[in-house]
Amino acid sequence: MNKLKRLPPIHAISAFESVARLGSFTAAAGELDLGQSAISKQIKTLEEQTKTPLFMRRARGVELTNAGKELLSSVQPALHQLSAGIEQVRQRHDAHTVTVIATHAVAHYWLFPRVIAFNRIHPEITVSIRSDNAIDASKVAEFDFGILYGEGGWPLLDTHPLFTESVYPVCHPELNFREPRQPEDLTHMPLIELDSTEWDCIGWYDWFRSFDVDY
């Protein structure tokens, strides 16, 4: 028997991966542009075919069962490989399309105006932009170009610097703070923290470290 015939439908697998990654049926429905009932139906189909529950329903979302975690570890790499393969074939057969991935801010504020100017000069070339704040070096492999934040230490990519970044603290003008004279003065002020592990950006720790200040 052909083992491929026993595989669940690809849309059920895709729905499972989306729910597992986002932790929510509602969020997965929004990402896949489907109704929540359709997502639930796909998950039910997959659970019936695997003969085991894949999620535990919680008040604030869903949580993977041990079987669900095991399935996800196999499904995600397979879907990424499938997506990359399809994208490569598509690009080879569309020589007039260039694909670029960048963060939302870079795509909207820096890249889009330049693409508009580029299209005026080269109307025969289509520039397809994907904006994603979770961009990393591994995702760039699926595109012709990627705009990453960092020092350029990505061994699998050919890199060229675009511009340096100037990072400095700001506050609301109505806040009654004594004006800081040196970076150390800021360590005693109430600072808004951003979890830089979730975003590829500089945090206060890195900013102070550039001035040799402990924080």
Q: What is the pLDDT of residues 19-68, one digit of tens each?
A: 999 888 888 888 888 888 889 999 999 999 889 999 988 777 788 999 99
Q: In the structure, what pLDDT confidence band is assigned to residue 1 with cuts at 50, 70 and 90?
A: very low
pLDDT value for 114: 93
List Cβ<8 Å contacts ≥24 apart for 199-204.
199/133, 200/103, 200/133, 200/135, 200/136, 200/148, 200/149, 200/150, 201/149, 202/167
Residue 48 resides in a domain: yes
> Can you give the pLDDT at residue 154?
82
What CATH number does the domain containing 117 carry?
3.40.190.10
Q: pTM score, two decimals?
A: 0.49
Residue 117 lies in a domain: yes
Domain with residue 27: its CATH number is 1.10.10.10
Number of folded domains in the chain?
A: 3
- Region 81-105: mean pLDDT is 78
Q: Which of 66, 89, 112 is the last residue of a domain?
A: 89
What is the span of the domain harbouring residue 103?
94-146
Convert the pLDDT of each residue in 161-183 to its tens digit.
998 888 889 988 888 888 888 99
